[in-house]
Amino acid sequence: MVIEDDEEEFAEQIDKPVQTKKYINRFIGVCNYMFKKGFAMFKEKFCDCCGDCLTECYWIDVEQDRAVEWMKAMINGDQTPVLRQCITCYACNEICPNDANPFDLIAELQEKHETFISRNDAEKTESRYAFTGELQSYPRAKKVMTTCVFEKTDPHLIQGELYDLPRVGGKPYFCWVLFSHSGAVSIQEKHAKEMVDRLALTGAREIVCFHDDCYAMLAKIAPEYGIDVPFRPVHLSEYLAGYLNAKKNRIKPLNIEVAYQRPCASCYTPEKEHYIDEIFELTGVKRVQREYDREEAMCCAAIKLMLNNGDPGPDQELNILDAKENGAQAMVCLCPMCIHSLATIASAHEMPLIFLGDIARIALGGTPLPKDLYRM
């Protein structure tokens, strides 16, 4: 659904006393409707149809004039090649200078036109992730870490003193961002509040998010849906930087040069990037300058396989070679899925993959730095 913003009209009317009360009531009604339906939506009035969100996307092949045509067509609810070319990396929302959230338009149309998955198949997938029971127990603490599904899929990444705090994870705390990757964004919205509510039961003032997707949900997506988040989401990188600062006297500099693999969900919350740099500085790690980094980062492309949207191999190889040719001795990944996705190509090019948390663990002496760490 496309929702137009009434901010300009509101500004014009607000200083007219006779109309002010009536208009405020109408405006509140619009806000309530938006919160009910989901505020994390495409904002048509902010979009000037410049087409930059498409032309600057790594995955979309289009010239400027055609990009403008495609944006106008999508605003009208029509299908365009964008729906198939898009691999749901969220970069267009970060690219847009007007915060119009073009990805939310694309995602809605992908679901409407069943570009990647039918409604029936989406519901079947939803049922596999949904928690239908009652919570038997949960910690009560000021600070709690949510590990999403990774304490089961990648338990080796959640070891040692860094993770010695109360934790929750599994189906009840699944963040559902996977479904905006899958062409079924309404399922993400449907379950967002229950995920927040279950985390709130811990009474925590801060929830540390092991996974970047969970942080994006709590810090950005859920509030835009109009969901109150009654605790402060803390990104893993902020938590690690704070831990390292408190243990500076124990840090042994690693003296290595690395490339950083920025995950797709970081497009929602780029403001936390400085914590990555702080971790590297604290641990004696140099982040090499390369083409596919920061705002120009290439996602791991794993989603292409899930969407049956082409072979990710050639793009993954470009990414790994870009790191290697610019002097990286290893690639540091924030998202465990990036490690799994890039493992084969990275191994072929002798590029070790290191989880960001393990950079901190190694610097604190909790684990050695193997030459082929996470080469799978």
At which of 60, 82, 115 does a domain end? 115
Give the CATH number for residue 172.
3.40.50
Same domain, 225 and 280: no
Say if residue 131's pLDDT is above 70: yes
Predicted pLDDT of residue 367: 76
- 48 lies in the same domain as 29: yes
Answer yes or no: do 54 and 84 share one domain: yes
pLDDT over 50 (residue 22): no
Among candidate residues 83, 115, 147, the one where a domain is terminated:
115
Give the whole-angstrom CA distance, residue 157 versus residue 163: 10
Looking up residue 257, the CATH number of its domain turns out to be 3.40.50.11810
pLDDT tens-place string over residues 295-329: 999 999 988 988 888 899 999 999 999 999 999 99
Using CA of residue 134, residue 136, residue 142, residue 143, what is the dihedral sign? Answer: negative
pLDDT for res 372: 59
Full 3-state SS string of 272-289:
HHHHHHHHHHHCCEEECC
pLDDT for residue 371: 61
Q: Does 270 share its domain with 320?
A: yes
- If you average pLDDT over residues 249-274, what whole number do you get? 95
Q: What is the pLDDT of residues 37-61, one digit of tens each?
A: 333 578 889 999 999 999 999 999 9
Give the per-residue pLDDT at 187: 96
Same domain, 156 and 54: no
Q: Are residues 80 and 3 part of one domain?
A: yes
Whether residues 231 and 306 fall in one domain: no
- What does the pLDDT look like over 160-169, one tens digit per residue? 999 999 999 9
Same domain, 262 and 230: no
3-state DSSP percent of the chain in helix, strand and coil, to 5: 50, 10, 40
Q: Is residue 43 part of a domain?
A: yes
Could you tell me if residue 350 is left (phi over 0), alpha (psi between -120 and 50 degrees) or otherwise beta? left
Is there a domain that residue 205 lies in? yes
124 token code pair: 């079947």
In a domain, 371, yes or no: no
Residues 203 and 269 in one domain: no
Q: Are 220 and 254 found together in one domain?
A: no
Q: Find residue 332's DSSP bridge partners.
A: 260, 354
Q: Is the pLDDT of residue 200 over 60?
A: yes
Instruction: Give the CA distances from residue 186 to residues 108, 122, 183, 376, in Å, rounded to whole numbers and listed in that order.
Output: 8, 10, 9, 35
Is residue 257 domain-shared with residue 226, that is, in the same domain?
A: no
Q: Which two tokens stand for residue 260?
A: 């950083």
pLDDT in tens, 274-295: 999 999 999 999 999 999 999 9
Query: Could you tell me if residue 370 is inside a domain?
Result: no
Number of domains in the chain: 3
Residue-wise pLDDT for 76-128, tens only, equals 999 999 999 999 999 999 999 999 999 999 999 999 999 999 999 999 999 99
> What does the DSSP assignment read for 145-188?
EE-TTHHHH-GGGS-SGGG-S-EE-SGGG---THHHHTT-HHHH
Q: Is the pLDDT of residue 347 over 90?
A: yes
Query: Residue 91: what pLDDT?
Result: 95
Same domain? 199 vs 221: yes
pLDDT at residue 74, as a whole number = 95
Taking the C-alpha atoms of residue 49 and residue 78, their distance in angstroms, rounded to an integer, is 15
Closest CA to 280 of 325, 232, 334: 334
Range of the domain at 283: 248-363
pLDDT of residue 305: 87
pTM: 0.86
123 part of a folded domain: no
State yes or no: pLDDT of 375 exceeds 90.
Answer: no
Task: Please determine, for residue 258, whether its predicted confidence score (pLDDT) is greater than 80.
Answer: yes
